[in-house]
Structure 1
Amino acid sequence: MCFSLCFAFEPSPLQDFCVADTTSSTSVNGLPCKDAVVVLPNDFFFSGLHLPGNTSNQLGSKVTPVNVAQIPGLNTLGISIARLDFAPGGVNPPHTHPRGTEILVVLEGSLHVGFVTSNPGNRLIAKVLNKGDVFVFPVGLVHFQRNVGTGDTVAIAALSSQNPGVITIANAVFGTPNQLIPSEVLTRAFQLDKNVVEFLQEKF
């Protein structure tokens, strides 16, 4: 009889920090480190989450991200944050973060939130949140938020990646900018008439 034992874990950091060197042409999984001697306080700083996002758009929402693109000092630290603003009825449409779990807290207003489990079940796990409520969206799962209150809603989301990424489902399926997914694929996948698919592709 033979067996093997495996351990998987997140390795401990080998240095205090790795501030992203955005000028480097080196390609790594993440961003290369700036020389620690030239690191400045502003490499770990962002100002602006107190400012309301502009929700006067088709979705009625605005996400203000604070990830490694805004704070180079987040590089390799596995965390980021975002402010979400919603006008009444505004939505953050179905999307996914391929590299991070999200935890969201409502600061003002009410949100209907939910995520869909993976195949084959595809269950919707959803709840209405009010001020002070917290909800978790597991990494990679499609999720959404919608303002169901009568006034503006504000929420803060923290994510378990310095660069969690975002894939907005409608944009990814109907609006690929370089080359559209063939309408024949989408008509079968969504069981829609080709004219409807082409209309959606024009919209996105």
Structure 2
Amino acid sequence: MELITKPIIFIIFSLLISLSSASVVDFCVADFNFPVGPAGFPCKNPANLSVNDFVFSGLGVAGNTSNIFNVAVTSANDNSFPGVNGLGISMARLDIGVGGVVPLHTHRASEVIIVIHGTIIAGFIASDNTVYFKTLNKGDVMIFPQSLLHFQVNIGKNQALAFVSLNSAHAGFQFTSASLGGNDLPTEIIEKITLLDSQQIKTLKNVFGGTN
């Protein structure tokens, strides 16, 4: 019995030693030298990391709202903030001009918004087409569940500022209007699948660069 027990104890002890000395993978900083995939970017060589990989300063700067929606979205996701790669979290800054909107959109992540200043209407549409919307003021927080269509509109007299957090390093934003108008799907097909008339569709295509 003793001859059998000793080898087993030795094997278990060796295994524990190897596990305790193995490298612990705490993070996977994005390596931008390679393309991103569904699981994110490949990991940067740990020997080449610095604290700057885990810091992002872009959210302190107001974005340019000179566009059709009068809004700027500054994202701190795995495309711009390598430290969040693989961690299932990202942030964004929303600068919304007077009368500006973050148009109806969706993404593969839940989102929390906090209003820093200004007054906005924010809301989402549930899968049963129930709409949940409310006027938000400074300090108010609202949640938008994963994959549901949602929006924000500045109804105040001054520019609004809000920050959002998402439970994905790359949420994959898809704006409804841009998706309909920024493609080469023939207008007659879009008419059938949306009930929009051809002139409305052509207007969207002119705005967002679509064809056909």
Aligned to 1:75: 85
Greater shift after overlay, 194-203 or 25-34? Answer: 25-34
**1:123-134 to 2 correspondences below 5 Å:** 123-134=130-141
Q: Which residue is equivalent to 1:148?
A: 155
Deviation at 1:33, TM superposition (A): 0.8
Shift of 1:112: 0.2
Matches of 1:194 and 1:188, distance apart in 2: 10
Partners of 2:46 and 2:113 lie apart in 1 by 33
Q: CA deviation at 1:166?
A: 0.3
| CA shift in 2, pair 1:42/1:185, >3 Å | same
C-alpha distance in structure 2 between counterparts of 1:15 and 1:45, whole Å:
19
Give SS of 2:178's match. Answer: helix
What is the CA distance between 1:27 and its match in structure 2? 5.3
TM-score norm. by structure 1 comes to 0.85
1:28 deviates by 6.2
Number of equivalenced pairs: 185
Identity %: 41
C-alpha separation in 1, matches of 2:37 and 2:158? 45
Aligned to 1:135: 142
Answer yes or no: is 1:84 the counterpart of 2:94.
yes
SS in 2 for 1:33: coil
**Structure 1: which 5+ residue stretches go unaligned?**
1-13
Answering whether residue 185 of structure 2 is matched by residue 181 of structure 1, we say yes
Cα deviation per residue 1:95-136 (whole Å; 9 max; x = unaligned)?
A: 1112x1110000001110111112xx2111111100000000
After superposition, the Cα gap between the structure-2 partners of 1:74 and 1:198, relative to the gap in structure 1 and judged at 3 Å, is same
Whichever residue aligns with residue 17 of structure 1, its letter is: F
User: How far 1:145 sits from its partner (Å)?
Assistant: 0.3
Which amino acid in 2 is paired with 1:106? V
Residues 15-46 of structure 1: per-residue CA shift (max 9 Å, x gap): 21111111136856211111212211111111
Which segments of 5 or more consecutive residues in structure 2 lack a partner in the other structure? 1-23
Give the one of 101, 104, 112 matched to 1:103: 112
* 1:134–1:41 distance in 2 versus 1, CA, 3 Å: same
Which structure has the greater CA radius of gyration?
2
TM-score norm. by structure 2 comes to 0.82
Deviations 1:167-198 (A, max 9, x none): 0110111212xxx2222222123323323322
